[in-house]
Amino acid sequence: MSRLCTVLVLAACLVASAAAADFVVENASRRINLKNTWAKAIDTLKAKNTGGSDLSNFVVCYPESIASRIAVLKVLIKKEKQEVAPLQQAPQGAPAGVSCYQATFKSTVKKGATVDLDVVATVTGVFKPNPAKIAQGEKQYVEYYDNLYLLSPYEVTEQSSTVLLPTSDVRSFSPQDGGSKSGSKVSYAALGKQGPWAVQQLKVHFHHDKPFKRVNSLVREIEVSHWGNIYVEETYEIQNAGSQHTGKFSRLTYAHSPDGKTNSFPDVKAHLPAAAHSLYYKDIIGNISSSDTTHTSRETLIEVRLRYPLMGGWKTDFTLGYSVPLEGFLYRRPKGKLRLLMDLSTSFDDVWVEQLTTRVVLPEGAKHIKATLPFADIQQSWDKKFTYLDTAGRPVLVLSKSNVVPEQNKPFAVDYSFTFTGMMREPLLLISVFAAFFAAVALYNRLDFTITRDEKWQEGQAHDKALGLIQSLTEYWDREADVLDRLVRLAHSISNRPSADAAPASRQALEAELRPLDEQAAGGCVSALVVTASRQALEAELRPLDEQSKALLSQVEALSPKLAAAARNHGDKSKVLLGRAAKLLSDKSDLIKKDVAAHEASAKLAGATRQLEEAIREWVDEGAKLAQG
């Protein structure tokens, strides 16, 4: 196995060496753009095939300090991307600390033909703050290091290098020979012919007027619910990677010195989908309300204001969440499959991400999961997540990538199968749980868990049943109270002789209405007591059949004497109150017939009327207490 590996490495080196001998770069124009917080090097090359056969491979190289921080590397021919892959070993003759990549052309370059290509490298984290620490309000200066020449295994006939800076404030640049500064640009117009692996360090020390927004860690969780929404939650740890702040910090000074804010930032802006809703923004302390959201037809723009401005070296963490509808993000595919289409990385602009983790949480029961990713270096792993009503857990596809810039925020797709039965699983489980709960409660109420049935238990059962029957008598007692109240109102209404003559007839009608109530109430009370006593007697003792009648009669008095006496007493009081009401009505009628004025008659009978009304109220309260046991 080791021999095979050695052979493969030697073969790769031979191929790279052959490629190096078969191309000549006739012209190389390097443009290094440092205006953003990451560098972008664009090499425009004109290469000629000087070999003896057609060629389809081209090697590009960078110093290790640059290559280790390359986020995006593209080789374009007429704006069409070519396949690029890293070489395990640099071609022969390469100096130490060089990393190379091999581009495979989609169409071969004929012998003696030339090809125009652009090599674009986006590089993060290559600015070195100098000074490393600055106070509030001071300018931020950084250094950038690169190779002045095109670092290539090929001979270069003509070349030039241009460095584009964010400001014209340049402290120094080297080498000075052949270089010139014009505004915010440092140029090396004619570097002349150079052989393979030409090396000379390029250094530029300049003022950078933008804060370095670096996301140390980003965890995006995309949870799919087939009930209408996709939930997205992003957890950030963001840091200002520029010159570290030293000394004190004053919010007053910060608010009144716009020129002193260039190396810090109080907020970040995110471009969310236009359909985003239910937004929230929080940190470990709680919800943060200091943010602005603008909805347009193309996007939802949210300006996330941090709790405090991030000076150099400072960092904070927070969580941003939102929801989007299924429409526009989840599509149906042939053979019953579904496709989820989402963006891979952050929606914040002007930031780069050191470590990105995207978690795609699919519904429980999803099968045949397959991801289509925009980059080959994305690592995949699997996890499970348990949420509400989950039993086996939801499958989670975990995507990991390091060193991510905004231009890599490309869509990715996840295909999977999910049936209608799987979608109805949780509602059916919820219905089953509630149905089982209600059935258990109903069964529990119908079961008797009493271990022994002693005399006290029997007495309590008999008393409760008798009390239930007594409570049914309250309806009759309420009607009796109404009749009594009407008799009293009738006595108040007698004011002249005609009404006095009509009073006996009205009283007789009310008494006739009350009479059946008294009979029903009395019958009901006896029935209740008899039923209670009979059941209590049977449950208390099993006496011989010939003695059953005598036992029932004795149990009536033995088990509920107070309840029976109270019920009979309450019924007797209603008759007494009826007699008092009838007498009050008769007395009022007699006084009116004797030509006594109505107000004088009412005054004479005021005491008796008040006493009767109080007695009726007491009687009603007593009935209510009796019904409650």
Two tokens at 308? 């405090």
pLDDT higher than 70, residue 504: no
CA-to-CA separations, 45 to 27, 30, 31, 151, in angstroms, rounded = 6, 9, 11, 12
Q: Which comes out higher in pLDDT, residue 509 or 65? A: 65
Helix (H, G, I), strand (E, B) or coil at 464: helix
The domain defined by 455-495+525-627 folds into Four Helix Bundle (Hemerythrin (Met), subunit A) (1.20.120)
Bridge partners, 538 (sequence order): none
Distance CA 106, CA 445 (A): 79
Distance CA 208, CA 168 (A): 10
Burial of residue 519 (number of CB atoms within 10 Å: 0-12, 13-18, 19+): exposed
pLDDT higher than 50, residue 407: yes
CA torsion sign, 373 to 356 to 362 to 320?
A: negative
Distance CA 283, CA 233 (A): 12
Considering all CA atoms of the chain, what is the largest pairwise distance in Å, rounded to the nearest integer? 149
Backbone angles phi, psi at 564, to 5 degrees: -65, -40
Q: pLDDT-derived band of residue 87, with 50, 70 and 90 as boundaries?
A: very high
CA-to-CA separations, 490 to 72, 487, 499, 609, 618, in angstroms, rounded = 102, 5, 10, 12, 20
Helix (H, G, I), strand (E, B) or coil at 57: strand
Residue 17: the pLDDT is: 46
- Start-end of H helices in 210-338: 251-255
Q: pLDDT-derived band of residue 613, with 50, 70 and 90 as boundaries?
A: confident
The beta-carbon contacts of 522-529 under 8 Å, at least 24 apart in sequence, are 522/571, 524/469, 524/472, 524/473, 524/476, 525/470, 525/473, 525/564, 525/567, 525/568, 525/571, 527/469, 528/466, 528/469, 528/470, 528/472, 528/473, 528/567, 529/466, 529/556, 529/560, 529/563, 529/564, 529/567
Superfamily for the 213-418 domain = tricorn interacting facor f3 domain (2.60.40.1730)
Going by C-beta distance under 8 Å and a sequence separation of 6 or more, which residues neighbour residue 418?
A: 226, 338, 362, 363, 365, 366, 367
Helix (H, G, I), strand (E, B) or coil at 367: strand
Q: Answer yes or no: are the C-beta atoms of 406 and 353 closer than 8 Å.
A: no
Residue 544: the pLDDT is: 40
| Segments of the chain assigned to CATH 2.60.40.1730 | 213-418
Q: For a pLDDT cut of 70, what percent of the chain falls above it?
A: 79
**pLDDT averaged over every residue in the chain:** 82
Residue 252: the pLDDT is: 87
Backbone angles phi, psi at 174, to 5 degrees: -150, 145
Two tokens at 423? 């979608």
Going by C-beta distance under 8 Å and a sequence separation of 6 or more, which residues neighbour residue 85?
A: 101, 102, 104
Least confident of 134-138, 168-172, 510-514: 510-514
Cα 277–chain centre separation: 11
Two tokens at 396? 């989670």
Distance CA 465, CA 435 (A): 32
Residue 475: the pLDDT is: 66
Cα 115–chain centre separation: 53
Residue 72: the pLDDT is: 95
Residue 151: the pLDDT is: 94
Distance CA 625, CA 609 (A): 25
Question: Residue written as tokens 């012919």?
Answer: 193
Question: Residue written as tokens 């004190």?
Answer: 248
Distance CA 208, CA 134 (A): 13
Give the residue-averaged pLDDT of 205-217.
Answer: 95
Q: pLDDT-derived band of residue 524, with 50, 70 and 90 as boundaries?
A: very low
β 155-164/23-33 pair status: parallel
Q: pLDDT-derived band of residue 576, with 50, 70 and 90 as boundaries?
A: confident
Two tokens at 428? 């059916």
Two tokens at 34? 């440092």
Residue 76: the pLDDT is: 95
Sheet containing 379-385: which strands, arranged edge to edge? 277-282, 315-325, 229-240, 213-225, 351-361, 394-404, 379-385
Distance CA 560, CA 629 (A): 12
Q: Answer yes or no: are the C-beta atoms of 67 and 89 closer than 8 Å.
A: no
Q: Rounded to 5 degrees, what angle do the CA atoms 97, 102, 106 make?
A: 165
Cα 64–chain centre separation: 43
Question: Residue written as tokens 């007491």?
Answer: 618
pLDDT higher than 50, residue 528: no
Report pLDDT digits (tens) over 579-607. 777 787 788 777 877 777 777 777 877 88
Distance CA 458, CA 439 (A): 29
Report pLDDT digits (tens) over 300-356. 999 999 999 999 999 999 999 999 999 999 999 888 899 999 999 998 988 999 999
Helix (H, G, I), strand (E, B) or coil at 522: helix
- Start-end of H helices in 447-496: 455-471, 474-493
- Start-end of H helices in 161-209: none
Residue 242: the pLDDT is: 93
Question: Residue written as tokens 């471009």?
Answer: 271
Residue 220: the pLDDT is: 96
Distance CA 25, CA 22 (A): 10
Distance CA 538, CA 356 (A): 80
Residue 465: the pLDDT is: 62
Nearest-10 crossing angle of helices 561-593, 455-471: 20
Distance CA 399, CA 222 (A): 11
| Segments of the chain assigned to CATH 1.20.120 | 455-495+525-627
Q: For a pLDDT cut of 90, what percent of the chain falls above it?
A: 52
Asked if CATH classification 3.40.50 holds for the domain at 20-167, the reply, yes or no, is no
CA torsion sign, 306 to 307 to 310 to 314?
A: negative
Report pLDDT digits (tens) over 18-65. 445 689 999 999 999 999 999 999 999 999 999 889 999 999 999 999
pLDDT higher than 80, residue 145: yes
Residue 498: the pLDDT is: 55
